[in-house]
A and B are shown apart, each in its own frame.
Chain A
Amino acid sequence: MLKAITASFVYELREIRHSWYKLSLLTVLPVMLAVLIISVFRDGVVRDMPLVLVDKDHSTLSRVFVNHLDASPTMAVAYKVGSVREGIALVQKSQAYGVVIVPKGFEKNTLLHLQPKITAMLNTQFILIGKIVTADLTAVALESAAEIEYLQSLQETQNPTLSLKKIAPVGMQVTPFFNLYKNYFYFLVSALIPAIWQIFIVITTLIAIGGMVKEQRVKAFFVTDKHIWGKLMGLVLPYTVIYTIWGVLFLLYIYSFWAFQGSFAIVILGSVLTVIAYQSMALFLFVIGFDYARSLSLGAVYTAPAFAFLGITFPMYNMNDFALFWRDLLPLSHYLQLQISQANYGANPWEESSRLLVLASFSLIMIPVVIRFKAYLRKELH
């Protein structure tokens, strides 16, 4: 068995050395894609999202509000227009994320305690920005209203501390657990790059085995129908090693910025198992039809939608049963849970044994793979 593994490992190494395609998939391309994704999110936080202001009051009080708005890091008054219609047109063209309207008589009605309303029409089509802007605008309105209320109350009571307490009878203090910086870079990149990683693993496995079938090297490689498992393992072993190294390098990169709470070794073990799990699944996709191009299409169906199912952007707690089932079929979702629970929560390593077991169990799919291969080789070799 060991001889079979070594022989086919050496065989594939030689193949890789002579193929620009395989070489770049192992080296340059992963780096290029990672750089691309990292550059997209290099800012990490949302800043100065453009808003349209329709100020129909032009008073001292409306300026107090607008100043508060402009001071907020996430929003900026980018356009000032005369009508709501013009403002909405800017939103429809995606040049602004919302229209803020200060009504006529805003100052007068505020002073008369008639509680005028500032209207904000926000584009919640883009939920990520929509939510941030909604929340921060609410905060800005509360803040600026509190400032005015404080000044009014101060006139009545002449007591600064009492006035302050009266404005907010119940306070709220918010603590973000785990991703302390509330940074999108960490949040999205730490899942997106692994999602691209799994595509690399599946695709290269299919290229290794599919290319062999297409180029009619099967007979020369297998010779007999013995030790199939070992030969397949040796064939994909170079990729197992390289992609595990990439996985670990990525972990080292991302956690050079953010604290890693738990056991790094457990996550490395997890990434080895994840690579093997995906390689086994890819071999399974291949033996469905023993056709190179078709297996790539299946690989695409399997890996392309994966990111949506990981539960990073949209939480798994609100997924339906089918989505949860599909999610379980993706090794990456188990791996990312392991990564998050170790990196963020610093959970006890022993509690991860079930996740590692799930990842390891994906290689059971090799049983039907070997059976199918045996039948296929009997036909091919005679």
Chain B
Amino acid sequence: MTFFDILKQESRLIFKDAAIVLTILGGVVLYAFLYPQPYAKQSVSSLATAVVDYDKSDISRTMIFSLDATPQIEITRQDLSEQAAKEALVRGEIKAIIVIPKNFKRDLALSKSPTIAVGADSSYFLIYGGVLEGAMKSVLTQSAKVKIANLLKKQVPLAGAKKAYQPYALNTINLFNPNNSYTQYVVPAVFVLILQQTMLIGLGILGGGINERMRRRRADRYLRTVPAWKMYLARLLLFGMIFFLHMLFYFGFSFQYFGISRLAGIADLLTLGVAFIFASFSFGVFLGSLFNTREIATPAILFSSLPLVFSAGFVWPLESLPDWIHALSLLVPSTPAIHAFLSLNQMAADFSMVIQEYALLWVQGSIYLGLALMIFSRRRRANL
């Protein structure tokens, strides 16, 4: 059997199986569209907020106006009492309540430091954080105004007063993902995982199916006789090609479409990509050699997805992760791959900074491929 014949046999195994095609072609494209949908508007804004204004002065109205002007907060109702506002909160009409106390204006003039109360729904952290951020901004602005006014009263010139109202200032710069885009936070990492998982499911269905046929003595001459390494090489070429194209589609077109930054050089990205595809492929044939039936692959991979996402260190920090979970997650290609792809593409890192992850992918790939060859050959001999 020539290598070309082997390639033909392998593509027949892949493309004649509707479940595999559905996963590695349909699924990959569908997921690229589906996953980013919740975050299409990118960030949390215009959170419905109620104001209870007990002061009803011009200053309190300025305060409300400046709260409403922040991107995070939108004043949707004014209530006469906190009770009424709280009921609206439970009904889900608003997410936060801001209370301006009685005599706000007078206390401000008397330097009595009146306090604005902010309450927000902390069932949802982004909502809570957003309201806090907006309220903080306008309270600080209001504070600064008062301080500058007080300094002006002391005959300090405006330019001096503007600087002297605070001994020093903090200037924060958002280094990467400057707009705090939620899409850019989640999608680049999840896309790496989707590529891996769909490849694993495809190879798992294929490998499980082959094992099933061998066990039932239904394997054809191709499966019984062709050297395992030639089979895997042909499979690697086919899956490699398909997923290389997927990778271009994901990191190229999709990133562009969803407005995600692409800071990596194309050569760096593809170098890493090849290692990632190789590692995922090897892991896939390894799992495939273990599965007894075709139908075990999808559930097994599916159940691993959420644990893998949350132990990869981008949602929840590695520093807070138990060591044993981190160690376990390093057995799977997606963990180093997510890390390295984010560093290169989202954080403009040098390739030398991700060399460890890159090396780990090759190590994983080689070990899993060796194991897969061993297990498959042994199983085949047992069923002959």
Contact = CB atoms under 8 A, between A and B. Distances in A.
Interface of A: 21, 25, 29, 33, 36-37, 39-43, 46-50, 88-89, 91-94, 97-99, 106, 109-110, 113-131, 134-135, 137-138, 141-142, 145, 148-149, 152, 162, 164-166, 168-180, 182, 184, 187-188, 192, 195-196, 199, 203, 207, 210-211, 214, 289, 291-294, 296-301, 303-305, 307-309, 311-315, 317-320, 322-323, 326-327, 340-341, 344-347
B113 A192 contact: no
A128 B125 CA distance: 9
Nearest to B33: A322
Contacts of A130: 174, 177, 180
B303 A171 contact: no
A201 B169 CA distance: 54
A174 B40 CA distance: 30
Contact of A50 (B27, B115, B313, B319): B319
B19 A294 contact: yes
Nearest to A140: B170
Interface stretch (B218-226, B279-287, B344-352): B344-352
Interface string B107-130: 010011111111111111111110
A36 B308 CA distance: 10
Contacts of A21: 296
Contacts of A327: 38
A122 B320 contact: no
B interface, over-half SS: helix
Contact of A40 (B113, B163, B311): B311
B302 A170 contact: no
Interface residues of B, number: 113
30 contacts: A39-B324, A40-B322, A110-B167, A115-B166, A117-B169, A122-B174, A123-B176, A124-B175, A125-B184, A125-B347, A126-B317, A128-B125, A135-B132, A138-B136, A142-B140, A165-B111, A168-B113, A169-B143, A170-B142, A174-B119, A174-B120, A177-B122, A177-B123, A291-B19, A297-B22, A305-B31, A313-B315, A314-B126, A320-B40, A340-B123
Contacts of A42: 322
Contacts of B321: 40
Contact of A39 (B48, B122, B147, B325): B325
Nearest to B125: A187
A359 to B, nearest CB: 17
B236 interface: no
Given A117-B170, A170-B113, A93 B353 contact: yes
B138 to A, nearest CB: 9
Contact of B173 (A36, A94, A122, A299): A122
Interface string B207-218: 000000000000
Contacts of B37: 308-309, 319-320, 322-323, 326
Given A170-B113, A171-B115, A173-B115, A94 B170 contact: no
A128 B126 CA distance: 9
Contacts of B249: none
B332 interface: no
- B126, B142, B168: which has the most chain A beta carbons within 10 Å? B168
B306 interface: yes
B171 A118 contact: yes
A124 to B, nearest CB: 4
B201 interface: yes
A121 B95 CA distance: 31
Interface string B128-169: 110011011001101100110010000000001001101111
- A46, A110, A115, A192: which has the most chain B beta carbons within 10 Å? A115
Interface string B293-306: 01110110011011
A157 to B, nearest CB: 11
Contacts of A41: 310, 316
A314 B182 contact: yes
Contacts of A118: 168-171
Contacts of B132: 135, 174
B205 interface: yes
A123 B180 contact: no
B42 to A, nearest CB: 8
B116 A171 contact: yes
Given A115-B166, A192-B310, A36 B325 contact: yes
A317 B184 contact: no
A359 B174 CA distance: 43
B320 A199 contact: no
A291 B164 contact: no
